[in-house]
Amino acid sequence: MGKLLNAQRVVFLSHSAELAGAEILMLRLLSEPMFDDVKVLLFSHGELCEKFAALGISASVIETKSLHDFRRNGSAFSALSKIRPMVATAKNLSSHLRSGDLLVASSQKAFVLGCLVKMFRKDVGPLIWWLHDILTKEHFSSTNLRTVVLLSKLFASKVICTSEEVRSAYEAAGGKRSKASVVEPGIDLRIFTAEHETSRKRTKTAISLSRISPWKGQRNFLDALALLPDANGLIVGAPLFGEQDYFEDLKKHASSLGLDDRVTFMGHRDDVAEVLRSATVFVHVPDAPEPFGQVVIEAMACGLPVVVSNEGAPGRICSGGGGILVPPNNPSRLAEAINKVMSKPDYRGELARKAKTISAKYDAASMRRNFLRALNEV
């Protein structure tokens, strides 16, 4: 692994310590040595702290209440009311930094804090925004969208986007293309493999694996299964960021559809590869475009045919035949696709082989090389 041209300390900032997509990607990036000196600063306690400790990486928690109440789809008044605590948090963050530190912010909130630090500390090194979101009004208020894009123009030395879709949305929102690079996520292909499959597979079992969230498409997944009386379903994942109520509503919805005997809510699992290999088909059709979708690549690497949305990065990745593309918010079309995979073994095998070939391009080692190359462009 190469090194940064300027051998400064690299500090990763994350507002969350839960294992959501951005945090999992940060763990994967740093699971192999990349930098001579690296530190992680988090703004809440959680499982991520233990994961970094196990890797021998210094991770500190900066306590704050301001970030938990700050919503990316909040109003201008709401944002203004958080300025004072955000400034206080930024000053606290600044005390943990050295002159010349290169900052990598892995969320919108962490990026805003990094910008505030740059206002206070002229001696801090470049600020990198590791952008995991598609910047649209579906997920961000107009105020927050304009604010983060303006801040990126003023303070970010580089915006590292997780897909071309993320970069295109950033540019469409007013961001500078000259600042944006694409570094697509990678997975550990030694773990996510089709080998050692668990009795392939449960008969006609579709699996949905992602964070439990209203936009991730679990409700439509249930509606599709209700149209397939011979199909079983696995829903893997846990609610984060105050979405427990949605999780309870989701389970009630499954009961109302008569799916209690056919759908299993498995919660968070660490043995993701094994769980994926136990299913027949992987389904990921969120209501809004997916910025990348690491779990889609994981499923493909495990030899699963996939059914994904025709919008967002998964639709592009699978457009070469690695999966079936369906429109979002359309349970009947989703049910047709699932049934096609389940009822045609030869077709299922062809999809699985193509999916495996496509997934081979997304290895973690390539991601690390590309990330380091983007940093060296600063």
pLDDT at 320 over 70: yes
Non-local CB neighbours of 40 within 8 Å, separated by 6+ positions: 11, 12, 14, 26, 30, 52, 57, 58, 59, 60
- DSSP states of 94-159: HTT--TTPEEEE-SHHHHHHHHHHHHH-TTS--EEEEE-S--STTTS-HHHHHHHHHHHHHHEEEE
- This prediction has a pTM of 0.91
b/e per residue, 126-143, with b = 16+ CB within 10 A? bbbbbbbbbbeeebbbeb
pLDDT at position 305 over 60: yes
CB 78 within 8 A of CB 57: no
Here the contacts of 196-204 (C-beta below 8 Å, separation 24 or greater) are 196/277, 197/277, 197/303, 198/274, 198/277, 198/278, 199/278, 200/277, 201/277, 201/278, 201/279, 201/280, 202/232, 202/278, 202/279, 202/280, 203/232, 203/280, 204/228, 204/230, 204/231, 204/232, 204/280, 204/342
Placement of tokens 């809004």 in the chain:
288
Q: What is the pLDDT of residues 228-270, one digit of tens each?
A: 999 999 999 998 767 899 999 999 999 999 999 999 999 999 8
% of the chain residues with pLDDT over 90? 72
What is the mean pLDDT of the segment spanning 63-85? 56
Cis before residue 340, ω within 30 degrees of 0?
no
Beta strands in the chain (DSSP E): 10-14, 38-42, 58-61, 102-105, 127-131, 156-161, 180-182, 205-209, 232-236, 263-267, 281-284, 306-309, 323-326
Integer Cα distance of 378 and 374 in angstroms: 7
- Catalogue the long-range contacts made by 57-61 (C-beta closer than 8 Å, 24 or more residues apart): 57/30, 60/96, 61/17
**pLDDT-derived band at 45, boundaries 50, 70, 90:** confident
Average pLDDT over residues 41-67: 82
DSSP 8-state code for residue 196 = S
Q: Residue 24, CB half-sphere, CA atoms under 13 Å: how many? A: 15
Q: What is the mean pLDDT of the chain?
A: 89
State residue 76's pLDDT score. 41
Contact predicate 316/165, CB 8 Å? yes
